[in-house]
Structure 1
Amino acid sequence: MYTQSSLPLAQVGVPSTSSFSPEPEPGSIEDALLQLIQDHHHNSLKLRERTDRAKKDAIKKAARAAELMVEAVNGGVQESFVNEKRIELEIRALAATITRFTKQTDQWLTVTHSMNTAIKEIGDFENWMKIMEFDCKSITAAIHNIHQA
């Protein structure tokens, strides 16, 4: 396209005689051609301006669309990242809780084992006491039989 400074100016190639003036006569073909060229040039400038505005507008809208798409994608990524961090914190908390419960369970097992041992010893003591009681009764009965005889 032509810019206003690079647009060729229409000049009529008319032999220089005394009957022709350098300015075209109003209503002549040259005047009509000059008017057409000027109109074309004016319309070209308007079209270029509209095209430039439309191009700038399209670029702005494309940039905005790209921003919105990036925000949409990043929003999901960011949400996933936040969820991942939250899950990692929960895993650490659960691991600490499991460790604490494992220690507590080991302590309970130790206490339970001690109680079982104590109960067995008590049961053994009761059995020993019953045996001793039976032995004492047997000895008492034997002494009593010897004493009566």
Structure 2
Amino acid sequence: MLSSMLKDHRVKQRHLKDAQEKRRQEAVSSLYKFNEGIMASINSRVSAAYVNQCQLDNEMKQLEVQTSRFNKLTTQWASELNSFHNALKEIGDVENWALSIESDLRLVTESLEYINNKNNSNTSKNS
């Protein structure tokens, strides 16, 4: 009887051990699947972040190129505007010069007409 009880106890222990081993393997398998799922999720997010970073880098490079072009164009426009401004100042100076010459010539013309009229009136009085 004692030996049969011992035998039953060992059989139960083996069954318990087998059941415990089976549950341990199921737990390990579940943990492995869980780990794979988590890693896939993390990797997809990291991958998306990397793709986004690459796109941002490319867009930043394009923006730098466009900014450089814009700066060159702005410098060129500023230079042309400055040249145009100087040309306008020269035109203004020429216009002032022309007005000054015109004023001087009017004065000379008026003076000559005055002298001519005075001479004509003197010659008519002398005759």
TM-score range, shorter chain: 0.7 to 0.9
Question: Offset at 1:139?
Answer: 1.2
With a CA cutoff of 8 Å and minimum separation of 6, indicate the structure with the bigger relative contact order. Answer: 1
Q: Does 2:57 match 1:88?
A: yes
Structure 2, unaligned runs of 5 or more: 119-127
Q: Does 2:86 match 1:120?
A: no
Distance in 1 of aligned mates of 2:31 and 2:100: 101
Give aligned-pair identity as a percent: 27
Looking at secondary structure, tell me which structure has more helix per residue: 2
Alignment equivalent of 1:57, drawn from 9, 26, 30 = 26
Question: Offset at 1:47?
Answer: 1.5
TM-score by length of 2: 0.80
Q: Does 2:70 match 1:101?
A: yes
Output the amino acid matched with 1:135.
D
Q: How many pairs were matched up?
A: 118
Question: Offset at 1:94?
Answer: 1.5
Distance in 1 of aligned mates of 2:29 and 2:40: 16
Alignment equivalent of 1:135, drawn from 98, 101, 104 = 104
Question: Offset at 1:126?
Answer: 0.8
Question: Offset at 1:89?
Answer: 1.8
Distance in 1 of aligned mates of 2:45 and 2:63: 26
Distance in 2 of aligned mates of 1:136 and 1:64: 105
CA RMSD of aligned residues (A): 1.8
Structure 1, unaligned runs of 5 or more: 1-31
Please list the CA deviations of residues 25-63 of structure 1 after superposition, one character each: whole Å capped at 9, or x if unmatched: xxxxxxx23432332232223222211211110111121
Q: Which has the larger radius of gyration?
A: 1
Question: Offset at 1:97?
Answer: 1.4
